[in-house]
């Protein structure tokens, strides 16, 4: 069987690429990274939120191509159930799928107002009002999960698919200096301190590709 390939875009700007990469790492699948440059028209459209269809990340494995992030979650969960990408408890699993789906399909104001940009930092950044409801909803999700399952991750002692889905949000909150309640702030610190996140961040910081549209001076 040939080695799996994960196709990703920019590590600095690619929030969906980060999600797919974390999922594959958490599952323990042996894969190679294939990078699509920011000058690729379809990739550029996705990074700039101009396309409703996200074709990266894309996992190629055993003759199959799986390109939707939620589909990657389900595919990896079927292959590696012991990795616990989804909780073993049925009720918790339904809850996890629900908040993953909410991240997957929602929070468009947050995406537009606070695009992922790991290299950047904007102290005192003032996000436009449309993003505030999204921020409040995300921190409410985090508070409910940690309060219910005990933390430090959303569903207990180990990171799962939900943490992979919300990890780019933690990066955004750090980049744009978003004020958070103590529980949410601690959760962000926990996610950002993950060795996998540190590996991704280190690679992002030396990435040569740039998108001027996402490097504007606020």
Q: What is the pLDDT of residue 218?
A: 30
Residue 207 lies in a domain: no
Total domains in the chain come to: 2
Together in a domain, 67 and 132:
no
> Taken in order 148, 149, 153, 155, is the CA torsion positive or negative?
negative
Of 83, 100, 122, which marks where a domain is finished?
A: 83
Together in a domain, 127 and 144:
yes
pTM for the model stands at 0.91
Together in a domain, 34 and 61:
yes
Mean pLDDT of 199-205: 97
Nearest to 153 by CA among 121, 115, 202, 196: 196
Residue 206 lies in a domain: no
CA distance 28 to 22: 10
Together in a domain, 27 and 105:
no
Together in a domain, 30 and 128:
no
> 11-15, 126-130, 175-179: lowest mean pLDDT where?
126-130
Together in a domain, 67 and 139:
no
State the maximum Cα–Cα separation within the chain, in Å, rounded to a whole number.
51
Together in a domain, 47 and 137:
no
Together in a domain, 138 and 193:
yes
Residue 68 CB: number of other CB atoms within 10 A? 18
Residue 33 lies in a domain: yes
pLDDT tens-digit map of 109-157: 999 899 999 999 999 999 888 899 999 999 999 999 999 999 999 999 9
Phi, psi of 156 (to 5 degrees): 120, -140
pLDDT tens-digit map of 17-31: 999 999 999 999 999
Of 83, 108, 133, which marks where a domain is finished?
A: 83
Residue 174 lies in a domain: yes
CA distance 31 to 33: 7
Between 73 and 40, the more confident residue is 73
- Give the chain's mean pLDDT: 90
DSSP assignment of 53-121 equals: ----SEEEETTEEE-SHHHHHHHHHHH-GGG-SS-SSHHHHHHHHHHHHHHHH--HHHHHHS---TT--
| Six token digits for residue 166 | 């919300």
Together in a domain, 98 and 12:
no
Q: What is the pLDDT of residue 37?
A: 72
Residue 212 lies in a domain: no
Residue 78 lies in a domain: yes
CATH number of the domain to which 146 belongs? 1.20.1050.10
Together in a domain, 98 and 178:
yes
CATH number of the domain to which 61 belongs? 3.40.30.10
DSSP letter assigned to residue 151: S
Residue 61 lies in a domain: yes
CA distance 21 to 10: 12
Q: What is the pLDDT of residue 17?
A: 94
Three-state SS at 185: helix
Nearest to 179 by CA among 120, 123, 140, 100: 123
Domain encompassing residue 176: 90-201
pLDDT tens-digit map of 93-109: 999 999 999 999 999 99
């Amino acid at each position: 069987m040939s080695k799996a390939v994960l196709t990703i875009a920019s590590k600095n700007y690619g929030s969906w690429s980060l999600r797919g990469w974390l999922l594959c790492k958490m599952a323990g699948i042996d894969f190679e990274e294939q990078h699509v440059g920011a000058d690729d028209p379809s990739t550029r459209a996705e990074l700039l939120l101009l396309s409703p269809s996200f074709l990266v990340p894309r996992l190629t494995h055993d003759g199959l191509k799986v390109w939707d992030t939620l589909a990657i979650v389900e595919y990896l969960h079927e292959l590696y159930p012991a990795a616990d990408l989804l909780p073993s408890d049925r009720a918790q699993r339904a809850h996890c799928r629900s908040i993953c789906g909410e991240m997957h399909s929602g929070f468009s104001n947050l995406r537009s107002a606070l695009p992922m940009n790991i290299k950047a930092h904007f102290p005192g950044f003032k996000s436009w009002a449309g993003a505030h409801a999204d921020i409040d909803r995300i921190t409410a999700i985090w508070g409910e999960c940690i309060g219910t399952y005990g933390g430090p991750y959303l569903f207990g002692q180990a990171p799962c698919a939900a943490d992979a889905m919300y990890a780019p949000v933690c990066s955004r909150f750090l980049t744009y200096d978003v004020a958070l309640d103590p529980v949410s702030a601690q959760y962000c610190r926990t996610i950002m301190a993950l060795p996998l996140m540190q590996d991704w961040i280190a690679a992002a910081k030396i990435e040569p590709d740039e998108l001027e549209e996402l490097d504007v001076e606020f």
